[in-house]
Amino acid sequence: MKARRKLSFSALVYWSTIAFLFLPLAVLLVYSFNSSKSGTWTGFSLVWYEKLVFGSPELWKAFANSLVVALGSASAATLLGTLAAVGTNRFRFRGRAAVQALSFVPMILPEIVVGVSLLVFFAGVGLKLGMATVLIAHTTFNLPFVFLLVSARLEEFDSSIVEAARDLGANERQTLFRVIVPMALPGVASGFLTAVTLSLEDFVITFFVSGPGSTTLPLYIYSMIRFGVSPVINALSAVMVAGTIALVYPLRNFLKTFAAQS
């Protein structure tokens, strides 16, 4: 039964890896309840949570900015990306290959290059850095992911259904809204959610294209880290990890599809 032994080796690596992945998060969680500012445990306290909720207006402003940017850029990217996916999936046309290539390249480019090129571009066209530039940048890096996820979904289903709809007299608009969009919906939804997540996560690109008043949550956390370890970040991190768990847990049965697409 050597197969069992190999299995236990991979199980050992897997569980050690999980421990490695969760250890830092657990440390943050524990220390978020520490009453003192230092690394030494001095007793249980909720003081940092209190400070997080009531004493950090700038943090909440950054959080609001993050939400606006995430929802705005994800919506724009979902609209444009879905349309392009439908177009390239159903039709052959001049420039189709170019659209597909242009949608692929941003994903393999290092973030720093995207960020720097956008900064230089905004400076060149004279656009002042702020919410608008952050929204443009986020929509740009979200687009390829939406395009890819919706395209993958559209490729899965039988295109003869679309032709059948047309043959039965549906016009383009009816075909789009009654046949294609409902079928593509899971892809559109996962594209939108991926875009929201990527946008909430992004630090590097935002770092270059944000200006006064457009500080997002990751940028705010960054500035706090630069000032040294702050227990308020511990509390914030604990809340964010809990939020992630609350978000991922209901999706656990779809995670396999997610992994396959990532």
Partner 1 sequence: MSAKRNYGALYAAPQGLWLLAFFAAPLAIIVAYSFMRKGLYGGVTGELSLDAYRALANPSLLAVAARTLAVSLAATALTLLIALPCGYHIARSRNQALRLFLVIVPFWTNFLVRIYAWIAILGNEGFLNDFLRALGVVADPVQFLYNQWAVVLVLVYMYLPYAILPLFSTIDKFDFTLLEAARDLGATKPQAMGRVLLPNIQGGVVTAVLFTFIPIFGAYAVPLLVGGKDSYMLGNIIADQVTKTRNWPLASAISMTVTALTGVAALAFLYRSRKPAPAPLEGQGGAS
Give residues 54-73 in contact with partner 1 (rule: CB under 8 A).
none
Exactly one of 60, 96, 128, 177 binds partner 1 (CB under 8 A); that residue is 96
Told to check if 195 binds partner 1 by CB under 8 A, we report no
**What secondary structure, in 3-state letters, does the chain show?**
CHHHHHHHHHHHHHHHHHHHHHHHHHHHHHHCCECCCCCCCCCECCHHHHHHHHCCHHHHHHHHHHHHHHHHHHHHHHHHHHHHHHHHHHCCCCCHHHHHHHHHHHHHCCHHHHHHHHHHHHHHHCCCCCHHHHHHHHHHHHHHHHHHHHHHHHHHCCCHHHHHHHHCCCCHHHHHHHHHHHHHHHHHHHHHHHHHHHHHHCCHHHHHHCCCCCCCHHHHHHHHHHCCCCHHHHHHHHHHHHHHHHHHHHHHHHHHHHHHHC
Report the site for partner 1 in 138-157 (rule: CB under 8 A).
139-140, 143, 147
User: Which residue in the set 45, 61, 75, 121 belongs to the binding site for partner 1 (CB under 8 A)?
Assistant: 121
Question: Would you give the binding string for partner 1 spanning residues 23-52, x where CB under 8 A is met?
Answer: xxx-xx--x------xxx------------
CB of 57 to partner 1, least distance (A): 20
Of 210-249, which residues contact partner 1 (CB under 8 A)?
A: 217-218, 221-222, 225, 229, 233-234, 236-237, 240-241, 244-245, 247-249
Sole binder of partner 1 in the list 62, 69, 70, 119 (CB under 8 A): 119
Site for partner 1 in 151-190 (CB under 8 A): 163, 166-167, 172
Tell me which stretch binds partner 1 (CB under 8 A): 48-56, 57-65, 183-191, 202-210.
202-210
Q: How far is the CB of 254 from partner 1 (least distance, A)?
A: 9
CB of 46 to partner 1, least distance (A): 19
